[in-house]
Structure 1
C-alpha cells in the first residue's frame, strides 16, 4: 500500500473538495448522481453547504496531492457510503480501501450499518467493495434508473 493520508474535511476545506469533486465528475460521469455541469460553476457557498450537510467527507492524499474521496450520510437504514472516487493514477494502491475503511469505521463508531449503491456495470468498484467486506445484495426491487446493486458491510450488518 502506498503511504496514503486520510483527512476529514470541514466547510472551510471547500476549495480542495471542489477541485477533487470536479475531477471525479469529469472522470466518472456515470458514477455519481450529480453531473459536472451541475457543479462546474457552483459558488463557494454551495460547496460549503455540501460539506456542512453531508455528515462525513474524507479525502485521500498522497503527499500534497488529493487522490481520492468518499462521504458518508446517516439515514434510517444506517450509514450510506457515497461519492466514492479514486484518481485513475492510484487505483490498485490501497487508496480505495483506506477511504472505504474510513467511512466504515465512522459508521461503526456510531453503531450504524454501512451500505452503498454501486452501478451494476462497475465491476472494478464492486470487487473493491467486496474485498473491503461488503456483501452484494443485488438490485433492489423497484429501483429506478440504471441498475445499481445494494451492498452492505458484513462487519456492521445486523
Structure 2
C-alpha cells in the first residue's frame, strides 16, 4: 500500500480542511477542545480564518481524500501541536508519526521545541507521541478538577528528550 501524500494547506484549501476537521471532530469528540457542533455550520470565512490564524496545517491524502491532519501554532517559546487526527483505517500505519514529524520539523526550523496536550485517558495517542520522541510531563498542577485531565508532552528542538 502506498503511503498517503502530505500537503500543507492554506486559506484557499478551506473546503478540504473543513471536510477533514469535521470528520475528526465526529470521530473523536472528546479528543479536541472544539466540538463538531461548534464548526458544522461554520461559513467559508471562519474556515479560511482558521487556516490563517494557525500558520501550519498539514493534511494526509490517500486516493485524493483526506485521511489525517495536524496543525502547529507558535506559543511563546515553543510550537503547540494541535488538531492531530488520523482516520480509523489508517491508525497503526505510521501516518501519525509522519504528521507529527512535519510539525516538529517546522518548530525546529524556528529554533523551537514542540509541545502538545493529550487527554489523560487516550493511551494510544500518548504511546504514539512517546514513540515520536515526546516526553510525558504529566497533568499540569493547576489543571481544573472539573475538566477531563490532559497531559502535557514535549519534544525538544534538538530531538533529545526534554526533562523540564
Residue aligning to 1:104: 104
In 1, the alpha carbon distance for the partners of 2:137 and 2:100 equals 18
In 1, the alpha carbon distance for the partners of 2:49 and 2:86 equals 23
Show the 5 A alignment for 1:89-128: 89-128=89-128
In 2, the alpha carbon distance for the partners of 1:136 and 1:45 equals 36
In 1, the alpha carbon distance for the partners of 2:127 and 2:77 equals 23
Q: CA RMSD in A?
A: 1.4
Residue 151 of structure 2 corresponds to residue 149 of structure 1: yes
In 1, the alpha carbon distance for the partners of 2:114 and 2:148 equals 22
Residue aligning to 2:36: 36
Residue 5 of structure 2 corresponds to residue 5 of structure 1: yes
Residue 18 of structure 2 corresponds to residue 18 of structure 1: yes
Distance 1:131 1:2, change over 3 A: farther
Residue aligning to 1:131: 131
* TM-score, normalised by the number of residues in structure 2: 0.92
CA positional deviation for 1:2: 4.6
CA positional deviation for 1:146: 1.1
Structure 1, unaligned stretches of length 5 or more?
Answer: none
Residue aligning to 1:55: 55
Structure 1 stretches (4+) deviating beyond 4 angstroms? none
CA displacement 1:126-158 (0-9 Å, x = unmatched): 000000000001001101221111000141658
CA positional deviation for 1:75: 1.2
CA positional deviation for 1:77: 3.4
CA positional deviation for 1:76: 1.3
In 1, the alpha carbon distance for the partners of 2:131 and 2:59 equals 20
